[in-house]
């Protein structure tokens, strides 16, 4: 696990990830629409088993190169977007900068422009759970540091275990190792 040298039997795979909320906008001629999903940054090559979403593509591809994103089926329906469409992601840090600067100005206007990051919808996934499909965007872990002001560091890891019966022992092992 990471650099700790700990080996977890019964683990099929593990992969780093970053996850946080953002403002997601569908710009364009059909009118702008803004939602607040979770954005999950994953390592596509390392995450095939640990992030099964990459194998659950309803339509489009799972190509996360560059500024590619995958949207959950319900989220894509709500935004009325398809593969090839562009969406904007405004992370909380940028929104906070905009708000702070506007509060400092007497007229509420800002001198500096803060722009969201433009992404291309490459695919739509169906995780099999309505709540997950309605609330998640997946992008490459390489994009996460820009979105969440991180120093190229993963915030957590996702693990795929061989069987649910090993969940409690593995959790205890991880908690004991990290305390």
Q: What is the pLDDT of residue 110?
A: 60
- CA 62, 2, 14, 174 dihedral sign is negative
Q: What is the pLDDT of residue 59?
A: 96
Which of 11-20, 22-31, 44-53, 68-77 reaches the highest mean pLDDT?
68-77
Which pTM was predicted?
A: 0.73
Task: Answer with the residue of higher pLDDT: 6 or 128.
Answer: 128
**End-to-end alpha carbon distance in the chain:** 15
> C-alpha dihedral over 22, 26, 27, 29, to 10 degrees?
-170
Q: Is the pLDDT of residue 2 over 50?
A: no
Task: Answer with the residue of higher pLDDT: 165 or 62.
Answer: 62
Q: What is the pLDDT of residue 34?
A: 86
Task: Answer with the residue of higher pLDDT: 81 or 169.
Answer: 81
pLDDT above 90 coverage of the chain, percent:
30
Q: Which band of pLDDT confidence, cut at 50, 70 and 90, is reported for residue 60?
A: very high
Burial of residue 93 (CB within 10 Å: 0-12, 13-18, 19+) is middle
């Amino acid at each position: 696990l990471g650099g700790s040298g700990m080996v977890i039997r019964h683990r099929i795979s593990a992969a780093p990830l970053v996850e946080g909320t953002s403002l997601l906008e569908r710009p364009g001629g059909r009118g702008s629409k803004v939602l607040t999903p979770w954005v999950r940054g994953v390592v596509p090559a390392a995450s095939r088993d640990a992030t099964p979403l990459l194998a659950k593509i309803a339509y489009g591809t799972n190509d996360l190169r560059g500024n590619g994103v995958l949207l959950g089926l319900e989220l894509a329906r709500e935004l009325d977007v398809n593969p090839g469409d562009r969406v904007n992601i405004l992370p909380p840090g940028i929104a906070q900068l905009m708000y702070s600067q506007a509060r400092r100005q007497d007229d509420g206007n800002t001198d500096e422009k803060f722009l969201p990051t433009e992404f291309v919808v490459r695919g739509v996934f169906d995780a099999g759970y309505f709540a997950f499909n309605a609330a998640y965007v997946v992008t490459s872990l390489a994009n996460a540091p820009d979105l969440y002001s991180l120093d190229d560091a993963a915030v957590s890891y996702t693990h795929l275990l061989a069987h649910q019966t090993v969940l409690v022992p593995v959790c205890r092992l991880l908690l004991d190792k990290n305390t």
